Structure 1
């Protein structure tokens, strides 16, 4: 299909005023049914971050036969959204329709009037430029919070061409902002940053999240849920086992990283307090993922996770069944049976049962400030259309 079958990746795009523009070039015309597929491919390519002046190469998943194929390459650039997120449980509780993934549905005739899910695995609060300035350019995706907000702004005119109707729609909508921050810390940590160095970017991350909330409210949003970060010190699959002097005896997690997250969440709540002062008519709900999830690590059996909270249900072996060279979804990884017995799905996300445990605490417990049930009583009303954007 390509006009130049011997082309390098660098032959398929150009830099226009610092912006990467893809132009792969095809030698044949497409059937009508193929146009949609090409649009989806272009949308996926837009999120691939290319290093300027870097070595021109692309690595992707090898098929079990030992060969490489276009199919496996396409699979490698497909963004993997976490299918079992807390938003699903919240939607079920309040009768909100489940959300279509925007990135894979925007080239189709998808109706987003009931809401949209902009989340993509690996999304960061800070833009790619922040990491590039610090010598970190090999990002797996460029789907940062800013990119996702731009998608929302692109979608908005199609939902409500009239600005007055738009504000009314946003007033009736529920926004779930993230969770953002965990991927930022994980990314720089794996590049060799120390825990004290991680503390230096907390204010930039929480300010970016707060600014995004501010932008949504300025455009008409009145109900925004903002999650704090999960206890990343308990994801031993990514960050490794704690040393003896860095061990939390009640949970078995890493003390230094959980202290980092606690500080992040404190700073985020301060930012949200400032937003509440600035927008007194808006409902800004802090979602305490950290404390909702933490008890399971000390007593997994109490919550029904007989296989524990650290071991990944789906993985390619290695400590805690996690191997970054054989992640869940690759040909070398496999998922255990009875996923409900595991809290950790793929080393980076909770399982469906894990998310249900967290979200039950959010809805029924003390882990939202102010409580979601008293802040959003109308969400439980029948026959009311409430769009939901994540």
Structure 2
């Protein structure tokens, strides 16, 4: 029986993705043919016989040059890896797809065994930085997993928590948190409200953290230097990373979303926000280069999410009915996010050329987050825009009544913004951040490299692959 799979041109909106259905194929006898058709797409036919089951997974990447002879040696793993990785015009997304279909998906990669993670970001990955600096995020934050506030703006775990768990490491302590912290396997420099570019406002004026990415890097540099001095003195050795961990660690980034919304809060147009994106990414690139000079080699970079689908944007920055897409999101703000991601990917490509020893993985969380919105009902979630922990309004969201906010009424303190009955069926936790259930689903999609460039799984993100 013939199984047809379509390889689509990589595009920012990824509207044209398809899926391979489960079939059976013998890895030693599979033969692939190709031909172009309208739109520069390519068709592949696999002629399966009894054998290994093909998993269902997204197909990404275009294949401009192929030679059937390369497919005849798929059972010879080493030759397969060498020949494909040396091809200049063969996209690595397609390479990994064939690797997954016909061989062991990790046969070309070494296991990195990351001993530590150092994270930089905003509230999407803040595990207690802002809470340590400006006061704890109140209950019901943390209720699902930690059963108490844990410095996270979420009912439970964030993507960075799940990343640490998958790598066999403890959850990251916030660098700013001096109580009960353990930095033996990394540190988290992210703080909620952080931007890449410094903001010329206080946190009380704008809600944005003064701890921008450049400040986070200063904190990292101080941590790198002082932690080793203290270890050599014999103090707190069990709470600090070994010197060799810094060069072998995974450096993770989830930041940039607030740089976009900061402009909207200043009443800038979407075009005006787009205009300063190159400067934002120049500053981002500068920090990556500095970390590289300090020994960092493995970088895992999330792009920004579909901000036009977040209740806090949809409630505050209104658009016309014609600007609402078919899933209910604000198209103008998503367009800017996609532009940011396009330029971020270009920045990553330049960094790969400039930093010859770095392995830099670009992770398309935008597509995954948009998918959870567009497929919410199918995935078992309720209204994707209805906030779990909020108060009033169309989305159960009021920017003046934050999750856990209390008021005194007739001498009695009451909680205005309470948690919903079942956070596991909600996507939005507080209008800005996601629930643990949403984070878990997103994590499951990105962990194997299906949404990454190059398409390497998390545990193999130290492997540098030729562009």
TM (norm. structure 2) is: 0.59
Distance 1:244 1:361, change over 3 A: same
Contact 1:237 1:310 in 2 (8 A): no
Contact 2:196 2:255 in 1 (8 A): yes
* Residue of structure 1 equivalent to 2:190: 119
SS at match of 1:337: coil
Counterpart-to-counterpart distance in 2, 1:150 and 1:157: 11
Q: Structure 2: which 5+ runs fail to align?
A: 1-128, 139-149, 232-240, 407-415
The structure with the greater share of residues assigned to helix is 1
* Residue of structure 1 equivalent to 2:333: 257
Distance 1:238 1:377, change over 3 A: closer
Q: 1:155 aligns with which of 223, 226, 233?
A: 223
Shift of the alpha carbon at 1:171? Answer: 1.6
* Residue of structure 1 equivalent to 2:324: 247
Counterpart-to-counterpart distance in 1, 2:377 and 2:399: 27
Contact 2:389 2:420 in 1 (8 A): yes
* Residue of structure 1 equivalent to 2:164: 91
Distance 1:110 1:91, change over 3 A: closer
Shift of the alpha carbon at 1:366? Answer: 1.6
Q: Structure 1: which 5+ runs fail to align?
A: 1-39, 48-60, 62-77, 380-390
Distance 1:170 1:269, change over 3 A: same
SS at match of 1:224: strand
Alignment of structure 1 residues 1-390 onto 2, 5 Å: 44=133, 84-105=157-178, 108=179, 110-129=181-200, 138-161=206-229, 168-177=244-253, 179-240=254-315, 242-249=319-326, 251-305=327-381, 307-331=382-406, 332-364=416-448, 366-373=450-457, 376=460
Distance 1:270 1:289, change over 3 A: same
Distance 1:80 1:362, change over 3 A: closer
By relative contact order (CA 8 Å, sep 6+), the higher-ranking structure is 1
Distance 1:374 1:334, change over 3 A: closer
For 1:252-283, what per-residue CA distance to the aligned partner results, in whole angstroms no more than 9, with x for missing partners? 21111111111100101111111101112111
Contact 1:224 1:283 in 2 (8 A): yes
Q: Which structure has the bigger radius of gyration?
A: 2
Counterpart-to-counterpart distance in 1, 2:357 and 2:165: 27
Counterpart-to-counterpart distance in 2, 1:365 and 1:277: 21
Counterpart-to-counterpart distance in 2, 1:148 and 1:374: 23
Counterpart-to-counterpart distance in 1, 2:180 and 2:170: 17
For 1:208-257, what per-residue CA distance to the aligned partner results, in whole angstroms no more than 9, with x for missing partners? 222111111110011111111000011133233542221211x2211111
Counterpart-to-counterpart distance in 2, 1:119 and 1:127: 14
Counterpart-to-counterpart distance in 2, 1:348 and 1:161: 40
Point out 4+ residue stretches in structure 1 off by more than 6 angstroms.
none
Shift of the alpha carbon at 1:94? Answer: 2.1
Counterpart-to-counterpart distance in 2, 1:216 and 1:329: 37
Contact 1:125 1:184 in 2 (8 A): yes
Shift of the alpha carbon at 1:378? Answer: 7.7
